[in-house]
Structure 1
């Protein structure tokens, strides 16, 4: 009975060490700076595409937030409706674009690339509205 107990304790200790090792390894990986100019793995490329999209989306939201207060109530409501429709279009269009690579490791890069491209296009449109609106 005592040997069984010692065996069980040693197994728990080894399991704990394995978990600790895995946590340290993943933390170390996260702590390494992601070099998007020289991404080496598909996982890194996917993450860089996501970060690039997030940057473009932030600029889009800034342009949108700058435009909203400049519009009268009626135009503001129309912009909000247009933006909601655009978001639905963007998401559906990018899902379609990604579907060609469904199940492949490159699919996230395709998806985030599409999101980034459409966000940049929409940002340009909003900036044009900002320049032309009195």
Structure 2
């Protein structure tokens, strides 16, 4: 019997570790809320999840600016030009999304894929914003 005690006590710490690991691997709704409540610092993102979230936020900000410039440009155009801009913008959105999907596909399955995708969306959106801003600033 005494020779089984060291074996028994060596199992206890291992089993408590595995239970702790299981508890951490399946976050509860409470821990999810706590994580969401933490402020995201995009100037010092520490994890790939944070980097991905920051890339998404950067894209969303670029998209807001694009929409602001677009909304300023539309009223300055004739009816015919408005229709052409709408058609061009719809085609551009399809191109942007397909192009960024292609860029992301090179990292398919990797944790960096969302960051690559949102970075592409942001860069392409900023370029389009600049184009629309130039139309807005030109003397037509």
Structure 2 equivalent of residue 115 of structure 1: 121
SS of equivalent residue, structure 1 residue 37: helix
Q: 1:65 aligns with which of 48, 54, 71?
A: 71
SS of equivalent residue, structure 2 residue 43: coil
Q: Number of matched residues?
A: 115
- 2:48 pairs with 1:42: yes
Q: 2:29 aligns with which of 23, 26, 37?
A: 23
Structure 1 equivalent of residue 136 of structure 2: 130
- Once residues 128 and 40 of structure 1 are traced to their aligned partners in structure 2, the CA distance between those partners, rounded to angstroms, is 37
Flag the structure with larger Rg: 2
User: Gaps (5+ residues) in structure 1?
Assistant: 1-17
Structure 1 equivalent of residue 5 of structure 2: none
Structure 2 equivalent of residue 100 of structure 1: 106
TM norm structure 2: 0.80
Structure 2 equivalent of residue 76 of structure 1: 82
Structure 1 equivalent of residue 96 of structure 2: 90
User: Gaps (5+ residues) in structure 2?
Assistant: 1-22
- Once residues 37 and 108 of structure 1 are traced to their aligned partners in structure 2, the CA distance between those partners, rounded to angstroms, is 18
